Amino acid sequence: MQALLNEILDQVRPLIGQGKVADYIPALADVPANQLGIAVYSNDGELYCAGDAHTPFSVQSISKVFSLVQAIEHSGEDIWQRLGHEPSGQPFNSLVQLEFERGKPRNPFINAGALVICDINQSRFAAPVLSMRDFVRRLAGNPEVAVDQRVAESEYQHRARNAAAAYLMQSFGNFHNDVEAVLRSYFSYCALRMSCVDLARAFCFLANDGFCKHSSQSILSARQSKQVNAIMATSGLYDEAGNFAYRVGLPGKSGVGGGIVAVVPGRFSVCVWSPELNAAGNSLAGIKALELLSERIGWSVF
């Protein structure tokens, strides 16, 4: 596996230069484009990594999985009263569908859906950001995972479109807390800094029927774990979920920081990172690396 990871990074490295680092906030635009890392964490506890696998980066939308898992832990199936688990077939930040469907977002991985999930968690926790930080530290087994305040603040300054989505949902009665407060929490979650190693470890329970070996904790039931994977498989990569299923064939979740996490149920979790994005907002080299990995191990869920 170690040799394979090195080989894959060598193969995808030439793609660097063909994508575009997210530049809607300076804190993200500054990230050096030529970084590339991968980490695999197997169900029997082995860790393999290559490249910049230990460098922390901004997890961005990958945090939506953590929020969803927190919400399921506390509220279970009830959350589906307030959002769906259907793919959206629209760019990740479109308000059109949200208006037609009367403020009920399609799934927890489009921004509107993630905001509803944050609204649910905001009602639950006295200190939502601390709760999230501690939850993620535990999942990753790394007490140093932290929120990058500069990124969070900068995202908040550019909150217009997310604020529009939240207010639109409020107008339909599907948003219960103060919009500005939830946005603050949401951007803090997005601004968590984690490395490929952190993320591979943090997602390992989804490859292992909900059980996190290194913390010896059952995070979700086996059934819930499969359900989260199902939602990642149909909606995890913005408007490219179908293509990711077609090319890679694994449940996965991406972020505009350039990270992508994927899960091989029963075997391992993997995180790849390269900051340059394709037109759909997913890591260009990251998708290619996962495609090669899926081909080389002869495995997709399909």
Binding-site positions for substrate: 61, 111, 155, 162, 186, 238, 256
> Residue 22 or residue 53: which is nearer to a second copy going by CB?
22
Binding to a second copy, residues 257-286 (CB under 8 A): 265
What's the min distance (Å) between Cβ of 137 and a second copy?
A: 26
**Which parts of 189-228 interact with a second copy (CB under 8 A)?**
223, 226-227
The interface with a second copy within residues 100-159 (CB under 8 A) comprises 100, 106-107, 159
Q: Is 88 in the site for a second copy (CB under 8 A)?
A: yes
Contacts of 279 (CB under 8 A, 6+ apart): none
d(CA 114, CA 12) in angstroms, rounded, equals 31
Cα dist. 190→59, 103, 183, 255 in Å?
6, 22, 11, 9
Please identify which residue in 61, 94, 111, 269 interacts with a second copy, judged by CB under 8 A.
Answer: 94
Residue 188: closest CA among 127, 139, 238:
127
Over the window 231 to 250, marking each residue x when it contacts a second copy by CB under 8 A and - when it does not, the resulting string is x-xxx---xxxxx-xx--x-
For residue 193, the minimal CB distance to a second copy (Å) is 26
- The CA distances from residue 51 to 34, 36, 90, 164, 166, in Å, are 11, 6, 34, 39, 39
- Does residue 56 bind a second copy (CB under 8 A)? no
Would you count residue 291 as binding a second copy (CB under 8 A)?
no
Q: What is the number of other CB atoms lying within 10 angstroms of the CB of residue 81? A: 9
Q: Contact 69/220 with Cβ under 8 angstroms?
A: yes
The verdict on 85 binding a second copy (CB under 8 A) reads: yes
156-175 footprint of a second copy as x/- string (CB under 8 A): ---xxx-xxxxxx-xx---x
CB of 271: closest distance to a second copy in angstroms? 18
Show binding-site residues: 61, 111, 155, 162, 186, 238, 256
Q: Would you count residue 71 as binding a second copy (CB under 8 A)? A: no
Q: Name the residue nearer to a second copy (CB basis): 192 or 207.
A: 207
Amino acid occupying residue 191: A
Give 146's strand partners: 193
Residue 131 class from Cβ within 10 Å (0-12 exposed, 13-18 middle, 19+ buried)? middle
* Close Cβ partners of 289 (under 8 Å, ≥ 6 residues apart): 8, 9, 11, 12, 38, 272, 274
Instruction: Mark the segment that binds a second copy (CB under 8 A) among 88-96, 121-129, 145-153, 184-192.
Output: 88-96
Q: Who's near 142: CB < 8 A, 6+ residues apart? A: 194, 198, 201
Binding of residue 297 to a second copy (CB under 8 A): no
Pure H helices in 26-148: 26-29, 63-75, 96-100, 111-124, 128-140
Q: Does 177 bind a second copy (CB under 8 A)?
A: no
**Which residues lie near a second copy (CB under 8 A)?**
84-90, 94-97, 99-100, 106-107, 159-161, 163-168, 170-171, 175, 179, 223, 226-227, 229-231, 233-235, 239-243, 245-246, 249, 251, 265, 295, 300-302
